[in-house]
Structure 1
Amino acid sequence: MSRTRQGQVESFGVPWEESYGYVQAIRRGDTIYLSGQVAHDGKELVAPAPVDDDGKVTDFGNMGEQLRQCYANAAHLLSRFGASLDDVVDEVIYVLDADAGDAAAGPVRKAAYGRPDPQVASTMIGTSRLAFPELLVEVKLVARV
């Protein structure tokens, strides 16, 4: 944990934080803003999607596993602020394939939030690319404590 004039900030220490120049989460007042969470374990990507020679995804089957890791990373970050996924009020899920995202998101989100009706505003957006070619999903969250 580190503190700045603006509030508490948290990072994982993954190489792309320094190369891109950002923190994973920052608290301002009673609000915690999480950068888009991707499927990594602090060292490498988790369940990377297979890609062809041009870097295009060839199979979206790892969407659920990647999404589970995104929520696990978010929960870990939130715990550093004394918060949890119960405090999340808004999320945006970016997916490479809307059909695969839609199929995975319901069950994974319900499990992550621990209820059949997660009490969070949620938006899913299809995009053509994420930070790394092997990523299928990224989740950005805002929590209030």
Structure 2
Amino acid sequence: MSNANANKVESFGVPWEESYGYAQAVKRGDTIYLSGQVAHNGAEFVAPAPVGDDGLVTDFTNMGEQLRQCYANAAELLGRFGASLDDVVDEVLYVLDADAGNAAAGPVRKEAYGRPDPQVASTMIGTPRLAFPELLVEVKFIARV
């Protein structure tokens, strides 16, 4: 096996990496795969959504702030491989509310990619729940270097 095909992995050291059992990012050859990025800064969630007694989110207005943190975390991980968001070729956004996701994604994505027409394939999927109840969005990335 050649070294070019060896995996390099990166993690943040957050508790759920160990409990679930995964790496935040894996580079194989010229491709970097990022696990779904959520709004955390270490072990703390950023702009957690309020959750009712039934365990469901009661307000989606933090979608943009959470999404910004997802892109910041992705940029940090990519930087560890000498890459950046400019190298992203595909992303998938998982959102709890499609309307709130659509409203936040355009401006936040354009800001994150630094251009009015991000040159990245993008898919948005509505889902009833993410890994933690206070999360509104998770973003998975693939980058080529």
Structure 1 residues without counterparts, runs of 5 or longer: none
Deviations 1:15-42 (A, max 9, x none): 0000000000000000000000000001
Q: Which residue of the partner structure matches residue 23 of structure 2? A: 23
Alignment of 1:35-114 (within 5 A): 35-114=35-114
Aligned equivalents of 1:106, 1:42: Cα separation in 2: 26
SS at match of 1:105: helix
Alignment coverage as a number of residue pairs:
142
Hey, which bits of structure 1, 4+ residues long, moved more than 3 A?
none
Aligned equivalents of 2:85, 2:8: Cα separation in 1: 18
Measured after TM superposition, the shift of residue 54 of structure 1 is 1.4
Measured after TM superposition, the shift of residue 45 of structure 1 is 0.5
Give me the TM-score of the superposition, normalised by structure 1.
0.96
Structure 2 residues without counterparts, runs of 5 or longer: none
Q: Which residue of the partner structure matches residue 131 of structure 2? A: 131
Measured after TM superposition, the shift of residue 6 of structure 1 is 3.6
User: Kindly, what percent of the aligned residue pairs are identical?
Assistant: 85
Aligned equivalents of 2:21, 2:132: Cα separation in 1: 16
Aligned equivalents of 2:25, 2:84: Cα separation in 1: 13
Give me the TM-score of the superposition, normalised by structure 2.
0.96
Aligned equivalents of 2:76, 2:133: Cα separation in 1: 24
Aligned equivalents of 2:54, 2:30: Cα separation in 1: 44
Aligned equivalents of 2:9, 2:51: Cα separation in 1: 34
